[in-house]
Amino acid sequence: MTLNPHSPSTAGPEAHTDIPVVTTKDLRKAAWGASVGSALEYYDFALYSLASALVFGPLFFPSENASTGLVLSFATYFIGFAVRPLGGVFFGRLGDRLGRKFVLMATIIMMGVASTCIGLLPTYHGSEGDWYSGGVGMLAPILLILLRIVQGLGAGAEMAGASILMTEYSPPNKRGFYASLPFLGVQVGTVTAALVYFLVYRGHSEITDTWLWRVPFLASVVILGVAMYLRVNLKESPTFKKLEVRDQIDERPLHNLLAHSRPSLLRGIGLRLAENGSSSMYQALAVAYVTSAAVGIKGPIGALSLVFAASLGAIVIPIAGKLSDRFGRVRTYRAFAYFQLVSAFPIWWALSQGSVVLTIVVISLALGIGTWGMFGSQSAFMCELFGSRQRYLGVSVAREISAVLSGGIAPLIGAWIIAMVVATDGGPDVPGAGLGSWVFIAGYLCILTLITIGTTYITPDPINRDLDDPRDAIAADRS
């Protein structure tokens, strides 16, 4: 069966033999290739989130003050986000000049190798129960930071490439649904990371004294192998092939992006602040908060919460994609953002109650509906905002700048808030110190969400637009 991934208005006289067509088999292969790569990225993402909250502090940043170790641990988490725009610019330019497939192969290798190598690192002090019993001091956090940078550079263009590939492959009236499918890989990666951590933690509460904390990172090599196999056999995106055939490749994508697409970039950044910020806060900061001395929940609560949340997200994401096809990108995205806004304070209050069941329920609702509802309706939305010639670069830069401004810095700010409230309450030795920090954290999340909601009111709905159009959706809407 042959599909038409571009607008009917451009399919007529130009649809000659050198313009590629998309079959159902091609669409299926693209979905698998994009989804497994997304699974690896978010396996790494969830893995690093959990490790930052639970093990990196004592292993790489030992301190007499647990809050200080937590802040330093989340600082390395932030570094990975800080370099993502650089990766987005570098690989985004290549994606618009050399093709989507080339970049997707390069980024998946960088991320997979970096994550696997984290599992081989020596630690600050070492441990008799570890494979490397001797510590290497400051070299340990330096190596962790370097690998986090490599991981961040690769991630800077990975998700953008996966979403662009599927959006450019999909038929217009089902673009939201098909473009959301790679984001199911996000749930698979998140659930896999959480389950691995849960199994490793089970019966080993002092995991930092053993080599078991390395197992989840070493397992990255398995997903990497599968993703590389699937992507080697992918065809290039139809839209990029048309640019090649028509000799329309932009040799200066960054220059032209900054010259003509700044309104689209700003809207893309604004749209992602709520989704990316909440994702990091609920996957990383919330876990650190509920397992802190103030709340006092013990055991693998973070891993269990992510398993349930990602399972719910796997249902919500394709539904959100279909809703965006039916009701429009803007209205669907805004609805999920409003859910996040009204639920922020109740959810963070619930996290402060110290109930295991309540914690699992509210994190599942926060991530599974609010965060990943926006995520599921975002893929086609972001891609349709940009014109064909700078689409990869535009989506990459918008995604990754927002990742720094919200996703990377949010847990760091949250950890700092917790540390400040703990100090105000009399220090970590005072029972319940830092418990009230949830109010400020929820307030910060609401600020990010309000910015996103405001952005939806100044963004035209690009649903079903012609992806071969070199103009951005905003320029096309004004003409």
Structure tokens at 117: 């190598």
Range with the poorest average pLDDT among 64-73, 300-309, 466-475? 64-73
Residue range 302-329: mean pLDDT, rounded: 91
Per-residue confidence at 317, pLDDT binned at 50, 70, 90? Answer: very high
How much is the pLDDT for 66?
Answer: 63
* pLDDT higher at 360 or 230: 360
Residue range 362-374: mean pLDDT, rounded: 94
* pLDDT higher at 340 or 249: 340
Distant-in-sequence, close-in-space partners of 475: CB < 8 Å, separation ≥ 6: 260, 387
Here the contacts of 474-477 (C-beta below 8 Å, separation 24 or greater) are 474/263, 474/264, 474/267, 474/385, 475/260, 475/387
One DSSP character per residue, 359-383 reads: HHHHHHHIIIIIIHHHHHHHHHHHH
pLDDT at residue 386 above 60?
A: yes
One DSSP character per residue, 272-285 reads: HHHHHHHHHIIIII
pLDDT tens, 81-99?
Answer: 788 888 888 888 888 888 8
* Percent of the chain residues topping a pLDDT of 70: 88
Give CATH superfamily name and number for 22-236+243-478.
MFS general substrate transporter like domains (1.20.1250.20)
Range with the poorest average pLDDT among 280-284, 321-325, 329-333, 409-413? 409-413
How much is the pLDDT for 3?
Answer: 59
> What is the torsion angle, in degrees rounded to the nearest 10, for the CA atoms of residue 232, residue 235, residue 241 and residue 242?
-160
* Percent of the chain residues topping a pLDDT of 90: 26
pLDDT at residue 278 above 50?
A: yes
Report the sign of the C-alpha dihedral through residues 360, 365, 370, 374, in that order: positive
Rounded CA gap, 300 and 131, in Å?
23
pLDDT at residue 429 above 70?
A: no
What is the rounded average pLDDT for all residues in the chain?
A: 83
- Three-state SS annotation for 44-110: HHHHHHHHHHHCHHHHHCCCCCHHHHHHHHHHHHHHHHHCHHHHHHHHHHHHHHCCHHHHHHHHHHH
How much is the pLDDT for 5?
Answer: 61
How much is the pLDDT for 271?
Answer: 96
Residue range 232-258: mean pLDDT, rounded: 83
Residue range 419-442: mean pLDDT, rounded: 74
How much is the pLDDT for 138?
Answer: 83
Residue range 401-407: mean pLDDT, rounded: 84
How much is the pLDDT for 60?
Answer: 80
What angle (nearest 5°) sits at the alpha carbon of residue 394, between those of residues 389 and 396?
Answer: 125
Rounded CA gap, 469 and 479, in Å?
13
Rounded CA gap, 284 and 67, in Å?
14
pLDDT tens, 10-61?
Answer: 444 444 445 556 677 778 888 888 887 778 777 877 787 777 767 777 778 7
Rounded CA gap, 100 and 121, in Å?
32
How much is the pLDDT for 16?
Answer: 46
DSSP reduced 3-state for 22:
strand
Per-residue confidence at 197, pLDDT binned at 50, 70, 90? Answer: confident
* Radius of gyration of the chain measured on its C-alpha atoms: 22
φ, ψ (nearest 5 deg) of residue 95 = -65, -35
Distance of CA 398 to the CA centre of its chain: 13
Distances (CA, A) of 34 to 117, 149, 160, 164, 343: 23, 23, 10, 10, 32
Residue range 234-244: mean pLDDT, rounded: 82
One DSSP character per residue, 172-241 reads: GGGHHHHHHTHHHHHHHHHHHHHHHHHHHHTT-TTGGGBSGGGHHHHTHHHHHHHHHHHHHTPPPPHHHH
The answer to whether the CB of 250 falls within 8 A of the CB of 390 is: yes
φ, ψ (nearest 5 deg) of residue 19 = -95, 125
> What is the torsion angle, in degrees rounded to the nearest 10, for the CA atoms of residue 105, residue 376, residue 315 and residue 100?
-20
Residue range 294-314: mean pLDDT, rounded: 82
Range with the poorest average pLDDT among 38-52, 181-195, 274-288, 452-466? 38-52
Rounded CA gap, 17 and 442, in Å?
56
Report the sign of the C-alpha dihedral through residues 211, 215, 216, 221, in that order: positive
How much is the pLDDT for 208?
Answer: 65
How much is the pLDDT for 9?
Answer: 43
φ, ψ (nearest 5 deg) of residue 16 = -90, -175
pLDDT at residue 460 above 90?
A: yes
How much is the pLDDT for 11?
Answer: 42
How much is the pLDDT for 220?
Answer: 86
pLDDT at residue 8 above 50?
A: no
* pLDDT higher at 114 or 339: 339
Rounded CA gap, 330 and 178, in Å?
17
Residue range 152-158: mean pLDDT, rounded: 80
Residue range 310-337: mean pLDDT, rounded: 95
